[in-house]
Amino acid sequence: STADGYPLDIKTIMDPWLNQMGFPLVTMTRNGDGTATLTQNYFLHPPNQDINLASQWNYKWTIPITVVTTASSEADWSARPSAWFDIAETEKTLTGLPVSLSEWVLINARQLMYYRVNYDDSNRAAIVSQLISDHTKILIESRCSFIDDSFTIARASYIPETTAMETTRYLGNERHLNPWYAAIKY
């Protein structure tokens, strides 16, 4: 059987998630042409530590990727993956994205799987701009994960802490507890 064109073998997909420690950091870099490049790395905190336990999967995972954009409707925020980052791939290209870098793209909408996401500076700025102008366009789960991922990867020195702080600029308009909690727990 297949899932959105990806061969569905639950054991093959889940074994690396269940039988190796840790989880991935997926970095998305927009290319300015309607595509984005994804890379995955083993999330380390701090990032320069040595991995002293071998893994038969080399700390790689098959990762379901959900994608939402500026143009997405609430129905588009479903938990169905629109792409799969295969364990054997060193990078994944997403297509069909907005060309303008002022329009935002979010992945791992609604936290389908447990992985951290790091965005390039222009996409992160577009997300922050959306939060400031109308934060309700981004669903609450994704507002929480955007803030939480940003602070977590900043604490691990992948991005500057000032970059993570930018994600909180809209909080004066936030009426839900969870995004506030994501920001203040650090």
Tokens of 83: 């792409």
In this model, does residue 11 exceed pLDDT 80? yes
| Res. 128 pLDDT band, cuts 50 70 90 | very high
User: In angstroms, rounded to a whole number, what is the distance separating the alpha carbons of residues 101 and 89?
Assistant: 25
Mean pLDDT across the stretch 34-54? 86
User: In 79-182, at which residue ranges do the beta strands (DSSP E only) sit?
Assistant: 83-85, 91-94, 105-107, 116-119
In this model, does residue 1 exceed pLDDT 50? no
Q: What is the pTM of this model?
A: 0.90
pLDDT at 2: 55
In this model, does residue 16 exceed pLDDT 80? yes
Between these two residues, 61 and 75, which has the higher pLDDT value?
61
What 3-state DSSP class applies to 163? helix
pLDDT at 85: 95
Mean pLDDT across the stretch 98-111? 93
Lowest-confidence range among 45-49, 106-110, 175-179?
45-49
User: In angstroms, rounded to a whole number, what is the distance separating the alpha carbons of residues 53 and 102?
Assistant: 42
Which percentage of the chain shows pLDDT scores above 90?
76
pLDDT at 50: 75
User: In angstroms, rounded to a whole number, what is the distance separating the alpha carbons of residues 184 and 72?
Assistant: 29
